[in-house]
Amino acid sequence: MVAEIKSLNEECGIFGVWGHSEAARLNYFGLHSLQHRGQEGAGIVANNHGRLKGHRDLGLLSEVFKDEREIERLTGDAAIGHVRYSTAGSNSILNIQPFLFKFHDEELALAHNGNLINATTLRKGLEKEGAIFHSNSDTEILMHLIRRSKQSTLMERIKESLNAIKGAFAYLILTPDAMIGALDPNGFRPLSIGQLENGAYVLASETCALDVVGATFVRSVQPGEIVIVNDDGYQIEKYTEDTMLQICSMEYIYFARPDSNIAGVNVHTARKNMGRRLAQEAPIEADMVIGVPNSSLSAASGYAEESGIPYEMGLVKNQYVARTFIQPTQELREQGVRMKLSAVSGVVAGKKVIMVDDSIVRGTTSKRIVQLLKDAGAAEVHVRISSPPLKYPCFYGIDIQNQKELIAAEQTVEEIRETIGADSLSFLSVDGTVESIGLQFDAPYNGLCMAYFTGDYPTPLYDYEKDYRNTLEKINERAPLTT
Amino acid sequence: MVAEIKSLNEECGIFGVWGHSEAARLNYFGLHSLQHRGQEGAGIVANNHGRLKGHRDLGLLSEVFKDEREIERLTGDAAIGHVRYSTAGSNSILNIQPFLFKFHDEELALAHNGNLINATTLRKGLEKEGAIFHSNSDTEILMHLIRRSKQSTLMERIKESLNAIKGAFAYLILTPDAMIGALDPNGFRPLSIGQLENGAYVLASETCALDVVGATFVRSVQPGEIVIVNDDGYQIEKYTEDTMLQICSMEYIYFARPDSNIAGVNVHTARKNMGRRLAQEAPIEADMVIGVPNSSLSAASGYAEESGIPYEMGLVKNQYVARTFIQPTQELREQGVRMKLSAVSGVVAGKKVIMVDDSIVRGTTSKRIVQLLKDAGAAEVHVRISSPPLKYPCFYGIDIQNQKELIAAEQTVEEIRETIGADSLSFLSVDGTVESIGLQFDAPYNGLCMAYFTGDYPTPLYDYEKDYRNTLEKINERAPLTT
Amino acid sequence: MVAEIKSLNEECGIFGVWGHSEAARLNYFGLHSLQHRGQEGAGIVANNHGRLKGHRDLGLLSEVFKDEREIERLTGDAAIGHVRYSTAGSNSILNIQPFLFKFHDEELALAHNGNLINATTLRKGLEKEGAIFHSNSDTEILMHLIRRSKQSTLMERIKESLNAIKGAFAYLILTPDAMIGALDPNGFRPLSIGQLENGAYVLASETCALDVVGATFVRSVQPGEIVIVNDDGYQIEKYTEDTMLQICSMEYIYFARPDSNIAGVNVHTARKNMGRRLAQEAPIEADMVIGVPNSSLSAASGYAEESGIPYEMGLVKNQYVARTFIQPTQELREQGVRMKLSAVSGVVAGKKVIMVDDSIVRGTTSKRIVQLLKDAGAAEVHVRISSPPLKYPCFYGIDIQNQKELIAAEQTVEEIRETIGADSLSFLSVDGTVESIGLQFDAPYNGLCMAYFTGDYPTPLYDYEKDYRNTLEKINERAPLTT
Amino acid sequence: MVAEIKSLNEECGIFGVWGHSEAARLNYFGLHSLQHRGQEGAGIVANNHGRLKGHRDLGLLSEVFKDEREIERLTGDAAIGHVRYSTAGSNSILNIQPFLFKFHDEELALAHNGNLINATTLRKGLEKEGAIFHSNSDTEILMHLIRRSKQSTLMERIKESLNAIKGAFAYLILTPDAMIGALDPNGFRPLSIGQLENGAYVLASETCALDVVGATFVRSVQPGEIVIVNDDGYQIEKYTEDTMLQICSMEYIYFARPDSNIAGVNVHTARKNMGRRLAQEAPIEADMVIGVPNSSLSAASGYAEESGIPYEMGLVKNQYVARTFIQPTQELREQGVRMKLSAVSGVVAGKKVIMVDDSIVRGTTSKRIVQLLKDAGAAEVHVRISSPPLKYPCFYGIDIQNQKELIAAEQTVEEIRETIGADSLSFLSVDGTVESIGLQFDAPYNGLCMAYFTGDYPTPLYDYEKDYRNTLEKINERAPLTT
């Protein structure tokens, strides 16, 4: 009675602190609370009176720094850190950030969260001019641009370079004199400023990392902004005026920790509201509401409260899955041996169950969980998804670039229902999603990027344009997309 | 806004299979689902046509078997395995089970869950007769008794030996010809029999392990029973008639996985019922009910449902805590840097909160969580504990042998409330606990061991008698215990 | 132009110190100089004011103690240590010594160098009386005997037990009050007493270990003696008067380090004398003398000096072989890819070469080296062995228990010459060996055990008697043994 | 009776093969025989039908490839490899070679042995043009030059780039279509071509690596040559005509393995000749000649033969030193606890000893060994060095760039004798060295670089010019240098 749980992954979390004698250790704790944003590798670079020193490796943060001396070695009053999720299969230490660059005339460290959409073009152009890349990372591109800029100051060179890159990015840059944060013109990725009791400033991908280190929230970094933190405090500048807020809606739906706030909205609350709205949009009579742990528990409890149907623990996740190296053989798998998720037959047997999940990517996971519940004796399984169907690829950092992997791009809701074996299936509407999250910005979808649901990309697609058009045509031939 | 979460630990989980060509691999998956019962070490011994071979080491199962070849090496149609929680500080590989013994005339492997209460006496006596012990484990004592028994068959020797040991035990024994399970006369620890599709039999500490390997539940092993599984199927014998069921109530309250059933009662359901009963026994007006993750979530949702107060996610547990080696320094700890649990200020700020937890041991953890919630802005924090106060030590395998560590042995409920800084505090009654779990056996407390709550120990205390009396006197001088 | 070099292995080295605040660290350095006696595992047990604590593991000493903290943890003024060579294939940590035993009434640690020849009988008898063994090691047998002895003091129990075991042994025993060394009645294995500048006493398998820690040689332990070292100094007792010195001649020929002295004779000098004598017994005209590194270099230089023929470096050993995990495939091996030994064609090409080696076991290595030299262009290869033919098994600790593996037990010298492809072959005579080593004791072979050359075993063979007689008969049928 | 032995280190060994189905495995064995040239790190890059793949890490080759799968993963018919010795303290994996570069239009791997003397200038210039370096290695400089060259073919770009770099270098370059070797215009470092039985070509730093893989020597690469190996065989081109052979004489004296031939001269033979000549130039009456293991054994046996004085093993090296992590404390060191080298008191006590060593760098090691011998009882110790005094720094890859560390730059021979505590001290003359090695090229010193002995640098010093002149002046003020 167990099944694999899906993984929809995002790229990376970043954290930085300027002005605290235990900067690297604070980084460790901040990154630890961002570990859900990337498990492939981690690193920290500290600034010890102008001399940058770093440590990075493949693995979870606790593995990378399993020897305490690695943290103690990173002395200094400032540090930036990174946890990485790998999009491509290139699990080389060369791709683990922050990158540390030492030139004859300056030192810099860089960390990046997001995905550039003109990276291939920029990289090819730079290589033609003699540039040598050592990683597959977009981060290195920015470094080449900064070094080649003819502007007179580092800040000017950085600003010029930020204007050359397109897509989604939240950068942290550490120099001997300052910690710099920069956000793309659409603010796809969250980036928050906090302050410690001693006055030190902190930059972090999510506010949960501020909480963990005891920092007070100061403000969110806005699209097109650069934050410069140094011994004089922090200062905000803009490198472009051509901005429009488009926060990745999947941060609310799936990625971010429920205790984080994004643009002033608590993630758990947003999810619970989506669950409530889903109960209004797609009600059904049943004995219980269950959520798929862990990301759908908030939405499930919202659905339960709104509908008045009891909320039960019908699925249990093994908390020790993170690093399981040995897998069942094909034979054992067929025999029902699975490891991550269990259906609680003592709870669901003979019952009509509403199973709330946050999204459906390929459908294979949903199919397994429905099967799991039925094997455990559930009489009916009604699937309710607390977001709209994922129909379009994302080029801004979510690992769904390949549209062919999206079941909703190829099948109707009824076809999906049949595929996953549910007794009924409903998705939350686009409007329902936008209104449940409740942003109020003067921008499309009130400031949310909903592109994977609607195809309304907030930017030109640059390197991805051609492929995307081709794919789109093929899909439309088979199954014209309709919301 | 984070705090350490408590750890009340039990000793070990066991799993065995007889009659499947991938016995060791099934063991791996079965043990994986029992990992919550012990994280100090793990091991598996397989029976390859009469030749026993094993692998064991310190660490999580996934670390012990991180090289797949270690599993592949354990060929054979039968295997028993063990995950260990360490009571004493002796984290030596010598204590990791199963123990494998090779004599000139027989081979046996043993694994044990529980705690003997006449171990010191037995061990001293055996040593006086020349016995040499290589571990601190009770398991080794049984082996010495079996080898020294003058009975004619192995089964008779085992039965004689089981009658010599006192306390709580669930044993698994693997021989070239059979897999044997044995339960103490009170059935303190759960032990279930399951069957795979191919007919193979499985023995496991919890039914969740049966589910994970796709086995059907057959029956629970009863107090004083021996199960013999061999190529002819399974057979039940009794080694004593002097039995009385006294299942450890903490299995329902805290230890077992919510998807396990014990004596026919689902653990999640029992917890939810305790939460409901708690809402009846100790109601309070508030804005929300929150549970301490993960073991109290069921009780919290029960409380919420019964009271009609919304269930919210006010505390978030970092899912990556299991192995965090680096700790905050004292300075950082004072500054509010903690790692395991976060209070969600976006949810609790300004609200009256009912915080449901399953138990209070020393009170330090409860104090931290209350503080965490207040730091996050909670207006009031009302603590509700879904079990009675822990006042007495346990000698049957729960890690609360030292009564001085139990806050409820020394303080009244009102004193505890003050200590932990809650606005109100209530515990579930003994009757409420017994009735919520809902066993119906003709035995004290309907078949539950409630000794840590009531002092009613179901057995003489043997080696622990003297110390216990002394401690009790001292405590009674200070704070006479009353239920 | 490379070949594997032979390995004839002995069991273990032991080292102990009593009375120095850095006892464990001194042990580390002492054992390091004894690493050639065993590379499978290592361990140290220290005595910290009556509390014994140890660390042991598989691997080279530098691997077992690669974390300096493992040494620092072993505080205390006394310590014994062990490096292990495995005879049986049982590479389990359970067999790594010293063994540390903790009873309710005493603590002891034991380390052992040698091989008991009545171990099987003793073990079976002990198991019948209820004893449980956790290792395959002879060391554990002594512990069982000591614990079962009814004598009144530990020393009396030890003496009684030593009289029950037969064969070759040098034991080190550490108790809270003393360090005890014991040697078998034939003194097969060397054991020396040394003293540090601060007055502390040291016991070691070879005198090279005394040199390394800066200790002065005091005396050799004699057959049948027990040395007791405690805070009052050292004291010698005898546990038997039935003794006869029979030092293992292979210690001089192959095992011991050239800088060690055994029974007052320097090992390098003994080897050089064997080389000189060999030049007298088996002269031949040639262009150069070369030795097989490293153990035959002394004998080769002796041969060169005596014969007046230049000593050249015709074979080079790769100093980085110790831990080479990757081996050539069969195809590459045929192509001539080998890793440990190279013939220097620039030296041997076109020359008549005398190749001096210390012994021939199976002949395969000699064959490879001769081929190597011929492939490198040597015109003639004349093999000279600085010891007699190995015809009989050893039961006292050298890894040649299986007579079928000894080429000289089955072939004449001329047949061996043909097998290994040499142009001529000679062995040193038994008399030549004995006289070159130059002991002067009133015992067979002047105090040397020459059993593997002559079949004159100095003791009854106990457990090995029957097998040995059978084997002997079969061999005699085929090729009657003659010296 | 033990002392540390000196370490004079060189940079790196390289090995490549083109045209064999087990190219990576052959590389492993080739590099293994070159391990003495560098122990800091190792790596291999293989070419699998145009796709390059590599593995590299810090540590000995056997550690880097301790998992056989790392070799098996490197499929392909060609491979180049590298063992690294670190000059600077930068023990980062980023400096471990071969470097593998993947561009949008080509792939290359590079490995380098030697030291560029205009690297700082080149690097600064390249960085000013936007280049980003990821390592401290000279290898990366060549890659930048190749990528920035405007020549039309890769070969032309490589040739142009080779003309821009100055100093000592032997490069291996692997492309999808060819393996390329290149040697600097002075041929400071050895590089040989060999051929396997199947016709595949091999390039290696030393001929011992050819022997190990069963390859036949074809020819040495000459100064200014490029070797291109591809599926059509090998081809030689010159990238410059301005060449003059100046082989590093320290290769003969200390670095190379005795079984290697350089420029047709066997290294052991050269060393033995130096020992003979030393006996002629600096005779002394004594009881024995001993060599400092391992590099001085050849010279010592030459001295012994020429003088007629017996060659003895007075010093023994522990063969297990390579990786010893735990060091004696200061207290233990003073007490005489040392680990690498032992003096054999049984051999040297009461004797007049001639101790032959290959060179003296700082004098500290020589001082320790003399002391060691005297502590072991040697009556007199006469030190004979089989090369001239090291007075000048080396900029071509030997780790003696800092002249202040050279005792012979500051002290006269008599002063050095006093410093090291020898009874007499002599060095081999410059002429004696040149004539013993016996090259016959029409070039200064018959083709040898003797700069560290004579100050006659064969090239301008570029980046090092200024520092060198300053140092020289200071030294001359104190102790005018004379040959």
Structure tokens at D400: 């003696």
- The answer to whether the CB of A377 falls within 8 A of the CB of A348 is yes
Record: fold of D265-476: Rossmann fold (3.40.50)
B-chain residue closest to A265, CA distance: B346
Structure tokens at C304: 């060169």
> How far from chain centre, in Å, is Cα D213?
21
- The answer to whether the CB of C272 falls within 8 A of the CB of C306 is no
Across the range B317-322, mean pLDDT stands at: 77
Of D290, D298, D295, which Cα lies nearest the Cα of D369?
D290
Is B325 in contact with A298 (Cβ distance < 8 A)? no
Across the range A69-92, mean pLDDT stands at: 84
Q: Is A91's pLDDT higher than 70?
A: no
Q: Is C403's pLDDT higher than 90?
A: no
**According to the model, what pLDDT value does residue A89 have?**
43
Interface size B-C, in CB pairs within 8 Å, comes to 46
Identify any residues that bridge with A46 across adjacent strands, giving them in sequence order: A53, A79
Q: Is B288's pLDDT higher than 70?
A: yes
* DSSP type of residue A310: P
- Chain D interface includes C50 (CB < 8 A): no
DSSP string, C378-428: -SEEEEEESS----S---SSBS---GGG-GGGTS-HHHHHHHHT-SEEEE-
Q: How far apart are CA D284 and CA D304, in angstroms?
A: 11
Residue D348 φ/ψ region, left for φ over 0, alpha for ψ in the -120 to 50 degree band, beta for the rest: alpha
Structure confidence at residue B87 as a pLDDT band (50, 70, 90): low
Q: How far apart are CA B35 and CA D174, in angstroms?
A: 49
C-chain residue closest to D328, CA distance: C25
How far, CA to CA in Å, does A305 sit from each of A272, A294, B427, D403?
9, 18, 26, 81
Identify any residues that bridge with D89 across adjacent strands, giving them in sequence order: none
- Chain B interface includes A364 (CB < 8 A): no
Provide the whole-model pTM. Answer: 0.90
Q: Is C277's pLDDT higher than 90?
A: yes
Distance from CA of B430 to the nearest CA of C (A): 41
- The answer to whether the CB of C443 falls within 8 A of the CB of C245 is yes
Identify any residues that bridge with D383 across adjacent strands, giving them in sequence order: D355, D425
Which residue in D134, D135, D136, D463 has the most chain A C-beta atoms within 10 A of its own C-beta, making it the best mutation to test that interface? D134
Is C295 one of the annotated binding-site residues? yes
- What number is the ipTM of this complex? 0.89
Q: How far apart are CA D161 and CA D112, in angstroms?
A: 14
**According to the model, what pLDDT value does residue C283 have?**
98
Give the count of beta carbons closer than 10 Å to the beta carbon of residue A164: 16
For strands A13-18 and A352-357, give the pairing: unpaired
Structure confidence at residue C161 as a pLDDT band (50, 70, 90): very high
Q: Is A236's pLDDT higher than 60?
A: yes
**According to the model, what pLDDT value does residue B92 have?**
79
**According to the model, what pLDDT value does residue C108 have?**
96
**pLDDT > 70: percent of chain C:** 93
Interface size A-D, in CB pairs within 8 Å, comes to 47
- The answer to whether the CB of D463 falls within 8 A of the CB of D315 is no
Identify any residues that bridge with B449 across adjacent strands, giving them in sequence order: B248
The domain ranges of chain A are 2-243, 265-476
Is B320 in contact with A32 (Cβ distance < 8 A)? yes
Residues sharing a CB contact under 8 Å with residue D109, sequence separation 6 or more, in sequence order: D45, D52, D54, D80, D98, D99, D100, D101, D173, D174
Is B346 in contact with A261 (Cβ distance < 8 A)? yes
Is D131 in contact with A129 (Cβ distance < 8 A)? no
Interface subset of D 209-268, CB within 8 angstroms of C: 211-214, 257-259, 261, 265-268
- The tens-digit pLDDT sequence of chain D (483 residues) is 333 333 444 569 999 999 999 999 999 999 999 999 988 899 999 999 999 999 999 988 988 998 888 999 999 999 999 999 865 445 678 889 999 999 999 999 999 998 999 999 999 999 999 999 988 888 899 999 999 999 999 999 999 999 999 999 999 999 999 999 999 999 999 999 999 999 999 999 999 999 999 999 999 999 999 999 999 999 999 999 999 999 999 999 999 999 999 999 999 999 999 999 999 999 999 999 999 998 899 999 999 999 999 999 999 988 886 555 677 888 887 777 777 888 998 899 999 999 999 999 999 999 999 999 999 999 999 999 999 999 999 999 887 766 678 999 999 999 999 999 999 999 999 999 999 999 999 999 999 999 999 999 999 999 999 888 887 777 666 555 444
Is D143 in contact with A132 (Cβ distance < 8 A)? yes
> How far from chain centre, in Å, is Cα C308?
32
- The second-level CATH assignment, the architecture, of C2-243 is 4-Layer Sandwich (3.60)
Of C19, C66, C68, which Cα lies nearest the Cα of C47?
C19
Give A-chain residues touching D131 at CB under 8 angstroms: 130-132, 147
Residues sharing a CB contact under 8 Å with residue A288, sequence separation 6 or more, in sequence order: A309, A310, A311, A312, A314, A347, A348, A351, A352, A353, A354
**According to the model, what pLDDT value does residue C401 have?**
66
Q: pLDDT higher for D13 or C139?
A: D13
Is D130 in contact with A123 (Cβ distance < 8 A)? no
Distance from CA of B268 to the nearest CA of A (A): 7
Instruction: List the binding residues of A for Mg(2+).
Output: 295, 357-358
DSSP string, B18-77: ES-TTHHHHHHHHHHTTGGG--SEEEEEEEETTEEEEEEEES-HHHHT-SHHHHHT--SS
Q: pLDDT higher for B128 or A67?
A: B128
Which residue in B34, B211, B268, B298 has the most chain A C-beta atoms within 10 A of its own C-beta, making it the best mutation to test that interface? B211
The mean-pLDDT minimum among C155-159, C403-407, C436-440, D393-397 falls in C403-407
Q: Is C161 exposed, middle or buried (0-12, 13-18, 19+ CB in 10 A)?
A: buried
Give A-chain residues touching B343 at CB under 8 angstroms: 211, 259
- Chain D interface includes A132 (CB < 8 A): yes
Q: How far apart are CA A202 and CA A179, in angstroms?
A: 10
Phi, psi values for residue A382, rounded to 5°: -105, 115
**According to the model, what pLDDT value does residue C312 have?**
94
- Radius of gyration, CA atoms only, chain D: 23
Q: How far apart are CA B28 and CA B44, in angstroms?
A: 8
* DSSP type of residue B244: -
CA quadruple A241, A242, A245, A247: dihedral positive or negative? negative
Structure tokens at D195: 């051929």
Is B132 in contact with C148 (Cβ distance < 8 A)? no
CA quadruple D414, D419, D420, D422: dihedral positive or negative? positive
Give C-chain residues touching B164 at CB under 8 angstroms: none
Q: Is C399 exposed, middle or buried (0-12, 13-18, 19+ CB in 10 A)?
A: middle
Q: pLDDT higher for A398 or A347?
A: A347
Structure confidence at residue A477 as a pLDDT band (50, 70, 90): low
Residues sharing a CB contact under 8 Å with residue B165, sequence separation 6 or more, in sequence order: B116, B118, B119, B122, B138, B141, B142, B145
Q: C100: helix, coil or strand?
A: strand
Interface subset of D 67-126, CB within 8 angstroms of A: 93, 101-105, 123-124
Residue type, C209: A
Residue C279 φ/ψ region, left for φ over 0, alpha for ψ in the -120 to 50 degree band, beta for the rest: alpha
Q: How far apart are CA B265 and CA C240, in angstroms?
A: 69
Give C-chain residues touching D320 at CB under 8 angstroms: 32, 35-36, 60-62, 322
Distance from CA of C392 to the nearest CA of D (A): 30
Is C358 one of the annotated binding-site residues? yes
**According to the model, what pLDDT value does residue B480 have?**
52
- Pure H helices in C1-75: 23-33, 61-64, 68-72
Interface subset of B 138-157, CB within 8 angstroms of C: 140, 143-144, 147-148
Is C266 in contact with D344 (Cβ distance < 8 A)? yes
Which run of H or E residues covers position A110? Answer: strand A107-116
The mean-pLDDT minimum among A156-160, C2-6, D302-306 falls in C2-6
Is C268 in contact with D326 (Cβ distance < 8 A)? no
- The answer to whether the CB of B11 falls within 8 A of the CB of B84 is yes
What is the pLDDT of chain B when averaged over all its residues? Answer: 91
pLDDT tens-digit profile of B435-481? 999 999 999 999 999 999 999 999 999 999 988 888 777 766 655 54
Q: B441: helix, coil or strand?
A: coil
Q: pLDDT higher for B318 or B157?
A: B157
**According to the model, what pLDDT value does residue B483 have?**
41
Identify any residues that bridge with D202 across adjacent strands, giving them in sequence order: D17, D194
**According to the model, what pLDDT value does residue D88 have?**
47
User: Which residues of B are identified as catalytic?
Assistant: 12
What is the pLDDT of chain A when averaged over all its residues? Answer: 91
Across the range C116-130, mean pLDDT stands at: 95
Is A65 in contact with B196 (Cβ distance < 8 A)? no
**Does this chain's domain C2-243 share its CATH topology with C265-476?**
no
The mean-pLDDT minimum among A235-249, B152-166, C2-16 falls in C2-16
Is D295 one of the annotated binding-site residues? yes
- Token pair 């996934």 is found at B62
Find the CB nearest C212 among D32, D196, D339.
Answer: D339
**According to the model, what pLDDT value does residue A473 have?**
77
**According to the model, what pLDDT value does residue A468 have?**
85
- Chain D interface includes C344 (CB < 8 A): yes
Residues sharing a CB contact under 8 Å with residue B203, sequence separation 6 or more, in sequence order: B14, B15, B16, B17, B80, B172, B179, B181, B191, B192, B193, B194, B221, B227, B229
The mean-pLDDT minimum among A170-184, A317-331, B416-430, D66-80 falls in A317-331
User: Which residues of A are identified as catalytic?
Assistant: 12
How far, CA to CA in Å, does B219 sit from each of B192, B202, B216?
6, 11, 10
CA quadruple C106, C111, C116, C120: dihedral positive or negative? positive
**According to the model, what pLDDT value does residue C6 have?**
39
Is C196 in contact with D339 (Cβ distance < 8 A)? no
- Radius of gyration, CA atoms only, chain C: 23
**According to the model, what pLDDT value does residue D95 have?**
86
Structure tokens at B174: 């693997």
**According to the model, what pLDDT value does residue B5 have?**
37
Across the range B159-183, mean pLDDT stands at: 97
Residue A35 φ/ψ region, left for φ over 0, alpha for ψ in the -120 to 50 degree band, beta for the rest: alpha
pLDDT tens-digit profile of A294-306? 889 999 999 999 9
- The answer to whether the CB of B244 falls within 8 A of the CB of B185 is yes
Give B-chain residues touching C104 at CB under 8 angstroms: 123-124, 127
Q: pLDDT higher for D57 or B138?
A: D57
Which residue in D198, D276, D326, D371 has the most chain C C-beta atoms within 10 A of its own C-beta, making it the best mutation to test that interface? D326
A225-A230-A235-A239 Cα dihedral, nearest 10 degrees:
-30
Interface subset of B 3-22, CB within 8 angstroms of C: none
- Token pair 């598989």 is found at C58
Strand-by-strand arrangement of the D216-220 sheet: D51-58, D41-48, D78-84, D13-18, D201-204, D192-195, D216-220
Find the CB nearest C269 among D316, D320, D346.
Answer: D346
Q: Is A88's pLDDT higher than 50?
A: no
Is B103 in contact with C144 (Cβ distance < 8 A)? no
Give B-chain residues touching A259 at CB under 8 angstroms: 1, 313, 316, 342-347
